[in-house]
């Protein structure tokens, strides 16, 4: 990992198209501004990890009583 130290107002260039600007920093958090072309996805890392985890939980057999659960949900007008 490349480690750089920046002060608020300073920026980093990543490749020809991406710029990361340090907008402000305090002991609790750093505000970053990202300039990138629309085809480059920019995401908070923990968010991707959370979605990965949620998908792993999702890929399990559906409850076997699905037909009965569906019937009761329809009967209650929830569907």
State both tokens at 47: 């968010």
Half-sphere exposure of residue 38, counting CA atoms within 13 Å on the CB side? 0
Q: Return the number of the residue (2 or 59) whose C-beta is nearest other proteins.
A: 59
Binding residue count for other proteins, defined by CB under 8 A: 33
CB of 42 to other proteins, least distance (A): 9
Instruction: State the nearest-atom distance from the C-beta of 43 to other proteins, in Å.
Output: 6
Give, as ranges, the residues between 14 and 73 that touch other proteins (CB under 8 A).
38-41, 43, 47-48, 50-67, 69-70, 72-73
CA nearest to 15, candidates 47, 39, 44, 43: 39
């Amino acid at each position: 990992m490349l480690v750089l130290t920046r002060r608020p107002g300073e920026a980093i260039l990543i490749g020809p198209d991406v710029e990361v600007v340090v907008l402000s920093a305090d002991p609790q958090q750093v505000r970053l501004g990202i300039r990138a072309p629309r085809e480059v996805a920019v995401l908070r890392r923990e968010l991707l990890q959370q979605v990965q985890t949620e998908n792993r939980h999702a890929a399990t057999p559906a409850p076997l009583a699905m037909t009965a659960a569906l019937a009761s949900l329809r009967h209650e007008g929830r569907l």
